[in-house]
Structure 1
Amino acid sequence: MSGKVIQNDEQYEKARVAILDMAAKLDDPLAEMSDAERTRLMAIYDRTTDLMQRYRRGKLVQLDPHLRDIYRQIGYKWQEIDSETERQPEDDQQEPAEKQSPPPEPEEKTPSNPLSDWLED
């Protein structure tokens, strides 16, 4: 299993959409698909789902490092995810904390409906 890996959540989402599309094609009994094409599409489907599982396990290992030992014991493989690379696009979008303005404080609302004034008495 060398070669491509899922790099970020955006690629994971694209892979998820792609496997749903492939599953629909493979499941369609009326699809005019040769045996060779079906076998090729099934291999792509299997490879993509395996990459997705490894990426997801990598994300879980990133959240809980103890899973690394558990996965190793049961023979699961996972993708090592570099947290700096993963967070880089998000950091570019946010302004530094010093430049961000504090959220506006909510104003006190005074009842403007004369019918509700008698409730406050």
Structure 2
Amino acid sequence: MSPDDHAHAPVRAGRSAEEGIKTVPSVCPHDCTSTCALEVERLSPTRIGRVRGSMRNDYTAGVICEKVARYAERIHHPDRLMKPLRRVGPKGSRQFAEISWADALDITAEQFIAKARQHGS
């Protein structure tokens, strides 16, 4: 099996061939029309392994996109942002300061309101 085949290899819920790895059913977090059913290797309560398409979805028949097939790499990447940041230097300067979630949400809401007033809703 090639490295890219894992995106198309269906699995069944239960134990993986590798002892101790449980495979659990899930759904795709992306908002596309395929609504993929997934089977996810659960390595621990906070860590996942391979993500594969589930045969439970007749429409996708076990096939998933590469974005979701590589989901574990994305969510466990050491450079993944875990806290909101606000740019404090010029754009492109890579200067950011950590802010609270409440402040991040307030800033985002204020910007949406300002743009809606400027351009209409």
Q: In which range does the TM-score fall when normalised by the shorter chain?
A: under 0.3
Q: Considering only CA atoms, is the larger Rg found in Structure 1 or Structure 2?
A: 1
- Asked which structure has the greater RCO (Cα within 8 Å, sep 6+), the reply is 1
The structure carrying a bigger strand percent of its residues is 2
Greater share of residues in helix: 1
User: TM-score normalized by structure 1?
Assistant: 0.25
TM-score when normalising by structure 2: 0.25
